[in-house]
Amino acid sequence: MHLHRLIYTNTSAKLMSDQALYELLHISRESYKRYGITGMFICLPESYILVIEAPEETIEQLYRNIQNDALHIQVTTLREGPIASSIFTEWGWP
């Protein structure tokens, strides 16, 4: 199993309420835990920055899903590549 890290940013197609954002993050956290994805989510007023770590195949599938999701626009890869070990122990957000 080769670990991979992807750092990307995107703009949301619509502004989310605090409650909707919290619900999305809760669902994502549970799903990512199930698939062994760790990382960090940073929410800015109109965009998001995500760092995700997982086996390469998992990252590739997740990123394809994100790029094809109408809720995400201007998806931009900031950095991507193999890693020796994860720096996150779970999925989190500040």
Residue 57 makes CB contacts below 8 A (sequence gap 6+) with none
Q: Are 47 and 84 in contact (CB under 8 A)?
A: no
State residue 73's pLDDT score: 83
As a whole number of angstroms, the distance between CA 49 and CA 72 comes to 12
pLDDT, one tens digit per residue, over 71-82 is: 788 899 999 999
Domains of the chain: 3-92 (3.30.70.100)
Residue 39 reports pLDDT greater than 70: yes
Q: Are 42 and 93 in contact (CB under 8 A)?
A: yes
pLDDT, one tens digit per residue, over 48-68 is: 899 999 999 999 998 998 888
Q: Are 59 and 4 in contact (CB under 8 A)?
A: yes
For the chain, give the mean pLDDT: 85
State residue 93's pLDDT score: 52
